[in-house]
Amino acid sequence: MSQLTGNRIRTTAGKLGLPHLAETITEFTRRADEAKMGYLDFLDLVLSEELAVRDDRRFRQGLRLSRLPHHKTLDEYDFSFQPDLDPRKVKDLATLSFVEDRANAALLGPPGVGKTHIAVALAVAACRAGYSIYFTTLDDMVRNLKTAEAAGRLVNKLGTYLRPSVLVVDEVGYQPLERAEANLVFQVISKRYEKGSVILTSNKTFSEWGQVFGDEVLATAILDRLLHHCEVVSINGNSYRLKNRLQTIERDADVA
């Protein structure tokens, strides 16, 4: 390939929004020469790598905008520490069929069993698959909506929680809500109903949600929309955080 041709390809690639091709055309042609590629194979190579780079860039951008507290995956989750949890049920969720169907997933159990880890891992997988995601605790969402409502910007702020394909709502039930606050949650859930997926974690059983939302009727209305299309995973094991803390205490005691 002549220098003139190479420069022309780089300029054209830049104008077409193909930055990876513009940067690596020399490397591509070297690989094509070494493999004695035909024209179609060379074109397939260039387009495949450009798409892979673009997908990775979109994935990393999606993670930056997601507000996820970390980017853990299911491979990092210790299923052996939760023997009552069937890994197949979680891995079925990781196929993201529920996201494709605009259904929901609920992870229930006491603090420390890894509910947030699994919720984040599912969100990361959804982001990798091209879905937009957003993470919030229930308390943060309610506080932000209340602030927006007071400032006359509620409709605009609701969009933050309605636009993503997948909304992760963490820590449902850690703090009881007033009825007006619960109504804001109802607005989010009802507007997302059959339009986008919700992944939620809660330390409360569904029968206790009336106490959480301060109104049995409102809690029932929220649950009615959440559970109509929902996969529920209950984790009733020991706390990972307590396990790690106990190991530290035992190790320090042995040293002493």
Domain architecture of the chain: domains with CATH: 1-66 (no CATH), 74-242 (3.40.50.300)
| Residue 18 vs residue 202, higher pLDDT | 202
| pLDDT score, position 139 | 97
Kindly report whether the global pTM for this prediction surpasses the value 0.85: no
- 185-222: pLDDT as tens digits: 999 999 999 999 999 999 999 999 999 999 999 999 99
Residue 154 burial (10 A CB sphere; 0-12, 13-18, 19+): middle
Q: In what order do the strands lie in the sheet with 230-234?
A: 133-137, 166-172, 197-202, 104-108, 230-234
| pLDDT score, position 33 | 86
| Residue 104 vs residue 20, higher pLDDT | 104
| pLDDT score, position 235 | 93
Distance CA 148, CA 25 (A): 50
Assign 249 a pLDDT band (cuts: 50, 70, 90). Answer: very low
* pLDDT above 70 for 255: no
* pLDDT above 60 for 247: no
* pLDDT above 80 for 145: yes
* pLDDT above 90 for 148: yes
* pLDDT above 90 for 77: yes
